[in-house]
Structure formats: structure tokens, C-alpha cells
Amino acid sequence: MGITCHWIDNALNIQKHLLAYRCFNDPHTAQNISHLMFLILEEYGLTSKIFSISFDNASANTCSIDELIRICQPSIDGKFFHIRCTCHIFNLCVQD
């Protein structure tokens, strides 16, 4: 699992950094995904600072969103919390 952070700094420049990369050998269930994500976010003190998350469209990722919203309590009631990965969607369209 790779986690990148994107933000706009005080000079209005887009910043991005690879925050964490963890080997994920457990079954890819919603509970396991949300638990590992929570541990990483907690490690960096980010649980209350997440505006949105982008996942590919795997069903376990989609199912983990409700748990992550409960944990992170994002702004705007989580309306923009789960952003689907456009690159993944385009790739599926091209393959089809």
C-alpha cells in the first residue's frame, strides 16, 4: 500500500510526497485495508487532516470508505472523501 500526500503550500505551490509504502500481505478485505490505513495515518498524525482519498475501484477499497470516514471524520460530512481513481477507470475502459 502506498500513501502519497498532496497539498498546497503557503506560496500556492502544489506539493506531493510519498508518505508511506507498506507491504500488504494480509487478505485485501475492507477491514484490513481501513485498519492499515488508520495505522499509517495515525503514525503521521493525519487522521483528522484528510480531505479526500483516491482508491482504485476494488470492492474492498470501496467498502473500507465508511470505516475510514468514521475514523477520520472529514470535513463537509465526507462528501468528497472518496475520489475514484481516474487513471484506473480509463485503463479499464481501454482494456474493454
Per the structure, the complete domain to which residue 70 belongs is given by: 2-95
Amino acid present at 74: P
> How far, in Å, CA of 22 to CA of 49, rounded?
21
Q: Is 58's pLDDT higher than 80?
A: no
pLDDT of residue 49: 81
- pTM for this model (two decimals): 0.64
pLDDT of residue 9: 93
> How far, in Å, CA of 59 to CA of 41, rounded?
21
Q: Is 7's pLDDT higher than 80?
A: yes
> How far, in Å, CA of 86 to CA of 56, rounded?
8
pLDDT per position as a tens digit, 82-94: 777 777 778 888 8
What's the chain's Rg over C-alpha atoms? 14
pLDDT of residue 56: 72
pLDDT of residue 27: 79
Domain total in the chain:
1
